[in-house]
Chain A
Amino acid sequence: MPTESVYAHVNLESNYRRRKILNAVMLSLTGLTVLVAVVPLVWITVYVVIKGGKYINWALFARLPAPMGAPGGGVLHAIEGTAVMVTLASVIAIPLALLGAFYLLARPNTSLAHGLRFSTDMLAGTPSIVIGLFGYAVIVVVQKHFSAFAGGIVLAIIMLPVVLRSAEEMLKLVPAEMREGALALGSPEWHAALKVVLPAAMEGIVTGVMLGIARAVGETAPLLFTALGNDNYEIGKIVRSGIRHHQSVGKILGQIFAQPADALPLTLWKYAQQPYQERVQQAWAVAFVLMLFALGINILARARLAYRRRKLYG
């Protein structure tokens, strides 16, 4: 029996060394890629914080914009616009998303459920600019004017898939026995859902809602031709003039939503491209605010999520 095998010509020693070296090199390369990803994150964050932090002042949050080229002024109009539109978006999107998630929980395998999951993913992947076009076509064209209302609706469409997905996941984490137990005790479906499953999943759902709001606050593209922008948007002024003219609360609210409005990212976009130094500085300050908001909410939300997972799975 010949002892030398078919591998006799292979130098095992050097082959092994080659494999070990390749292993070390490639594994360090993967570590390097992580560094490459961390660099821009740190670069952007630090730069925006330093540069934008410099231009943060009280007027920024309390004043309307100064005339172009003049110093001073603030972005109160954009803060109020963002608040109004994101509130409207939340009021519409959050209940719809939750109810949709309850449908997925109650009937996980119907064709509507599959259709809903598919559509949610497609909606999440649709470019926000296309959602803006849609808002323009179905609201602005019909009403014949740009408005905070249209802006709020498109933001709701952006928020819907974010909240729906996370709500579904969170509802699924609630042990099925809880819902079944409630049903077995004779509680109707809605009661089991709202009084038993929802409270159990509440913590996680709030997290998803926070992520959805963070997403909506940062969105610009869909607002370009729905909310359009409005340097004079001031809720205080609308309310005061409403009171002076003895208008009803509904009418005043209507006017708040009927006007074109600005939003923080929209203002940033416009200011970033203007030749005036003051505007560019304010753009950096707005970037600082947006970044802090987005990162703050995300860190908070993910920390809560991690905490909850740990609590559930031990």
Chain B
Amino acid sequence: MNATQTSWRRRLTYYFKHGDVLWWALITLSALVAVVLVLWIGWQVWVQSAESRHAFGWAFVSPWAKPAWNPALDKFQAWPAIYGSLITALIALILAVPLALGIAVFLSELAPPWLRGPLNYMVEMLAAIPSVVYGLWGIYVFLPLVVVPVGKALEPLGGLPVVGELFQGPTPASGFTRLGAALVLVIMILPTIAAVSRDVLQAIPRSQREAAMALGATRWETVWKVLLPYGQSGILGAVILGFGRAIGETMAVTMVIGNSAGGGYSILKPGYTMASIIANEFAEAVSDLHTSALMEIGLVLFVITLLLNALARWLVVNRTIKRA
């Protein structure tokens, strides 16, 4: 009886004198913060969008519902914004993936050591430039000089069956279009995809390269037939990560997409993305339902990026770069 008491007391004094109880409590609580935050963010956008969810149901996000975004009449339907996010991100991916893979291959397989350092720097600098700076440069330089001519060149495709829908002109002279947003996104997601793919390629064991070379493969054949297939799940993860970036990117896209809730599928027209409609309208939302509808778009955005990032993480971390 007495012995137990002393041992308890001793243990308590031991813990408290050294401060370890406090320390463990501190670091455990801090570790909980990020976990709680993710859950809390999800919970908040869910709760705050209740009004909109009850008012519009699944039709809010349906591609087949009649598109309507009219704050004055309290009618909201998110498909044009969702479509805007998907099409801009998709075009950005189609253009960025080959470029990013080329960069990754060059950086991990070909670049001589003296060139590797500076080039790695440059790719990472692209990711470091603030989004608003891309936007400003986009409005005044990139749109008139690149996007408008490209848009004009694409207009003839409007005559094609089915895909012609995507290229209905005329391109606005200012260049504020979904195409403009997509092309700015190409530059912005390039470093993400390139850097992760580079890490994936570098994590492939040297023996794979040596074996391919020993069989007489050229360098390109080593890359194309051995390294890329070996790293495919990691590279797919990098691509998905880039897709998530493109969908979530806000400021640059808001500045160049033209912010119009108009329907239609043409990439040569102004539009909205999920992120840009929130950025553009939330502070000036006219009614509770308007706020709630924007929150629901935030919810959709959150869920989509969460799923994409979880998938990408699983592909990159668990299947390719198996670190501790």
Interface residues of A (CB under 8 A from B): 19-20, 22-23, 26-27, 29-34, 36-38, 40-41, 43-45, 47-48, 95-97, 99-100, 102-104, 106, 108, 112-113, 115-116, 118-123, 125-134, 136-138, 157, 160-161, 164, 172, 188-191, 193, 214, 217-221, 224-225, 228, 265, 268-269, 272-273, 283-284, 287, 290-291, 294-295, 298-299, 302, 306
Contacts of B244 in A (CB 8 A): 125
Contacts of B34 in A (CB 8 A): 100, 116, 119-120, 123, 160-161, 164
Are A127 and B275 in contact (CB-based, < 8 A)? yes
Contacts of B255 in A (CB 8 A): 269, 272-273
Contacts of A193 in B (CB 8 A): 23
Q: How many A-B residue pairs have CB under 8 A?
A: 266
Interchain residue pairs with CB less than 8 A apart (28): A26-B223, A33-B98, A36-B99, A37-B126, A45-B125, A48-B136, A99-B26, A103-B31, A113-B31, A116-B31, A122-B38, A122-B306, A122-B309, A125-B245, A127-B301, A129-B248, A129-B278, A130-B298, A134-B40, A218-B130, A221-B279, A224-B279, A225-B283, A228-B283, A265-B130, A273-B139, A294-B128, A302-B121
Query: Among residues 253 to 300 in chain B, which have CB atoms less than 8 Å away from a CB atom of chain A?
Result: 255, 275, 278-279, 282-283, 294-295, 298
- With A122-B309, A220-B251, A225-B282 in contact, is A33–B135 under 8 Å at CB? no
Query: Among residues 223 to 259 in chain B, which have CB atoms less than 8 Å away from a CB atom of chain A?
Result: 223-224, 241, 244-245, 247-251, 255
Write the chain B residue with the least CB distance to A283.
Answer: B136
Per a CB cutoff under 8 Å, which of A32, A127, A130, A138 touches B102? A32
Are B44 and A137 in contact (CB-based, < 8 A)? yes
Write the chain B residue with the least CB distance to A301.
Answer: B128
Contacts of B110 in A (CB 8 A): 27, 30-31
Interface assignment of B106: CB less than 8 Å from any CB of chain A? yes
Write the chain B residue with the least CB distance to A141.
Answer: B48
Contacts of A108 in B (CB 8 A): 324
Write the chain A residue with the least CB distance to B248.
Answer: A127
Are B23 and A126 in contact (CB-based, < 8 A)? no
B253 to chain A, nearest CB (A): 10
**Which of B75-83, B152-160, B213-221 sits within the interface?**
B213-221
- With A127-B250, A228-B283 in contact, is A37–B99 under 8 Å at CB? yes
Interface assignment of B72: CB less than 8 Å from any CB of chain A? no
Q: How many Å lie between the Cα of A37 and that of B188 in the bound state? A: 10
Are A131 and B41 in contact (CB-based, < 8 A)? yes
Interface assignment of B18: CB less than 8 Å from any CB of chain A? yes
Total interface residues in chain B, CB < 8 Å: 90
Are B133 and A290 in contact (CB-based, < 8 A)? yes
> Which residue, of A116, A129, A161, A306, has the highest number of chain B Cβ atoms within 10 A?
A129
Are A188 and B248 in contact (CB-based, < 8 A)? no
- With A116-B34, A119-B35, A302-B124 in contact, is A44–B129 under 8 Å at CB? yes
B321 to chain A, nearest CB (A): 13
Are A290 and B224 in contact (CB-based, < 8 A)? no
Are A221 and B251 in contact (CB-based, < 8 A)? yes
Interface assignment of B137: CB less than 8 Å from any CB of chain A? yes
Q: How many Å lie between the Cα of A136 and that of B283 in the bound state? A: 10
Contacts of A224 in B (CB 8 A): 279, 282-283
B105 to chain A, nearest CB (A): 5
Interface assignment of B55: CB less than 8 Å from any CB of chain A? no
Per a CB cutoff under 8 Å, which of A48, A127, A295 touches B247? A127
- With A32-B102, A108-B324 in contact, is A133–B298 under 8 Å at CB? yes
Contacts of B224 in A (CB 8 A): 26
Are A272 and B139 in contact (CB-based, < 8 A)? yes
Q: How many Å lie between the Cα of A32 and that of B278 in the bound state? A: 38
A305 to chain B, nearest CB (A): 11
Contacts of B22 in A (CB 8 A): 190
Interface assignment of B134: CB less than 8 Å from any CB of chain A? yes
Query: Among residues 4 to 56 in chain B, which have CB atoms less than 8 Å away from a CB atom of chain A?
Result: 18-20, 22-24, 26-35, 37-38, 40-41, 44-45, 47-48
Are A33 and B30 in contact (CB-based, < 8 A)? no
A261 to chain B, nearest CB (A): 14
Contacts of B137 in A (CB 8 A): 44, 47-48, 287
Are B28 and A112 in contact (CB-based, < 8 A)? yes
A128 to chain B, nearest CB (A): 6
Per a CB cutoff under 8 Å, which of A112, A136, A221 touches B275? A221
A158 to chain B, nearest CB (A): 11
- With A99-B30, A129-B279, A129-B301 in contact, is A287–B132 under 8 Å at CB? yes
Interface assignment of B86: CB less than 8 Å from any CB of chain A? no
